[in-house]
Amino acid sequence: MHTALIVIASIAVALQALSLYRAFFGPDLAYSLKTRPDVAVDSPEFCSLLAFLTEAKLLEGNRIEVLTNGPCFYEAELCAIAQARRSINLEAYIFHRGDVSRRFVKTLAERARAGVQVRLTLDYIGCLSTPRSYLKELTGAGGQLRWYHPPRPDLLPDLNNRTHRELIVIDGQTAFIGGAGIADWWMRDGVKGRRWRDMMLRVEGPSVAALQAVFAQNWLRVAGEILTGDEYFDVPGSADSTPALVVGSTPAAGATQARILFQLLISCARKCVYISSPYFLPDGSARRAIIQAARERNVEVKILTPGDNNDQRLTRASSRELYGSLLKHGIRIYEYQPSMNHTKALMVDDCWVVVGSTNFDYRSFVINDEVNLALLDPGTTRRVAQDFERDLAQSKEITYEDWRTKRRFRMADRLLSLLERQE
């Protein structure tokens, strides 16, 4: 068994190395806007264009709650799960053994024994360290568990495609979306005792049905079951006033809806672009969009990434190598100091905020299955921006001179970074 796991992990690492090699060194197909729309990003014309291109629908009437850090969002998720009456659907890249996941397994099993339909889609590679026996309490209680793209011969061509989504939908009425998986990292760092910084959104309203549909797509792939019925799609009426786009992303022709969502918003920004990304490795097309916003339209661009607490040291080294091309065009880059910052958010022109599973890197834009919630709401944007500004106050700004004088990156770091697995 141990040998088999080593072989599986080696195959996954090799495939990821190949794909990231393409990101750094391969031919760079230039993804760009043929014509930049000359309209504000909060205009009806832009909203229609964004919806068409991302194959989504701008749904009005949602209630959004921003949940900051693990103690807050885990309690909210567990409380909602404990109150479920009909269905719980969970899709995750990270579901690791520990105190947090034990609480989830226990609560999910309790609801399954009470007759609630419980379904989990877990990524095989992302959860590789989790013993299959760890989830027996859940499956023994009647919960259904499926692994996304396990290393079967018929799935080997798809082995590098992972579901990177972190999504929970309860009773078809409440959803949680963001970038945080289920692991003790978000409560504490086992080595340094500092919890990871992160954020999730609680969603109520019409967008919950769209998020349920995203879960249902991969459930069909792994279980062969089409989910229908009020227990899954009990489409609620208006819960509040926030318009939202649910953008589920899968690889298609080398580009995904995630790329379209991020690149179109950045390319059309007129005032400001704020990016928080734990693994900031934008390819050439994404870098050009950021640089053009700052250089050609005088857009204020701020980028927040982890500092020395990044859990992927070599990924951080590779990320830093890209700083120079951005800094010299006036883009401001900050490294968060207190702990690992795993927050994934994009804010544009004080009116759009995007939260979800997408990293600002090649894997998320080209390879992985992702899900994001794009909100056209100045209020929620301000709320997320407040967290962003607090994080900046605890960060070190990197200047171009700092980067140029302290640069110690070697080609070996770039090659070794290809072997790392991101969360």
Q: Which residue has the higher pLDDT, 67 or 160?
A: 67
The number of beta carbons lying within 10 Å of the beta carbon of residue 338 is: 14
Q: Does pLDDT of 28 surpass 50? A: yes
In angstroms, rounded to a whole number, what is the distance separating the alpha carbons of residues 144 and 121?
A: 9
pLDDT band at 303 (very low <50, low <70, confident <90, very high): very high
Q: Is residue 41 part of a domain?
A: yes
Please identify which residue in the block is written with the tokens 């900031």.
Answer: 280
Structure confidence at residue 415 (pLDDT): 52
The pTM (predicted TM-score) of the whole model is 0.90
Q: Is residue 35 part of a domain?
A: yes
| Overall average pLDDT of the 156-168 stretch | 87
Average pLDDT (144-154) is: 88
Is 399 a member of any domain?
A: yes
Joined together, the tokens standing for residue 244 give: 């939202």
- What's the pLDDT score for residue 420? 45
pLDDT category of residue 238 using cuts at 50, 70 and 90: confident
Segment holding 378, helix H or strand E: helix 378-393
Is residue 104 assigned to a domain?
A: yes
Q: Where do we find the tokens 């959860």?
A: 127
| Residue 108 neighbours by CB under 8 Å, 6+ apart | 81, 88, 90, 118, 120, 138, 141, 143
HSE at residue 358, side-chain half, CA atoms within 13 A, is 32
Query: Which helix H or strand E contains 412, and what residues bound it?
Result: helix 411-417
pLDDT at 36: 92
Location of structure tokens 């701020």? 302
Q: Are 329 and 295 within 8 A, CB to CB? A: yes
Structural domain for 377, as ranges: 2-417
Asked if the structure places residue 423 within a domain, the reply is no
pLDDT at 7: 53
Q: Rounded CA gap, 92 and 94, in Å?
A: 5
- Rounded Cα distance between 287 and 280, Å, is 11
Q: Directed axis angle between helix 99-113 and helix 70-82, to 10°?
A: 10
The pLDDT of residue 23? 47
- Tokens 């091309």 locate to 325
Answer yes or no: is pLDDT of 64 > 90.
yes
Which CATH number covers residue 75? 3.30.870.10
Q: How many residues does the chain have?
A: 423
Which token pair is 98? 């520990």
Question: Does pLDDT of 295 surpass 90?
Answer: yes
pLDDT score, position 378: 98
Alpha-carbon distance 233 to 174, whole Å?
A: 11
Strand ranges, E, within 31-104: 59-68, 87-92
Residue 94 located in a structural domain = yes
Between 313 and 213, the higher pLDDT residue: 213
With respect to residue 317, please indicate whether it lies within any of the assigned structural domains.
Answer: yes
Q: Is residue 374 a contact partner of residue 244, using CB atoms and an 8 Å limit?
A: yes
Total count of domains within the chain: 1
Question: For residue 33, what pLDDT is reported?
Answer: 87
**Does some domain include residue 122?**
yes
Closest to 386 measured CA to CA, from 423, 359, 350, 340? 350
Share of the chain above pLDDT 90, in %: 72
Mean pLDDT score of the chain, rounded to an integer?
89
pLDDT in tens, 173-210: 999 999 999 999 999 865 566 899 999 999 999 999 99
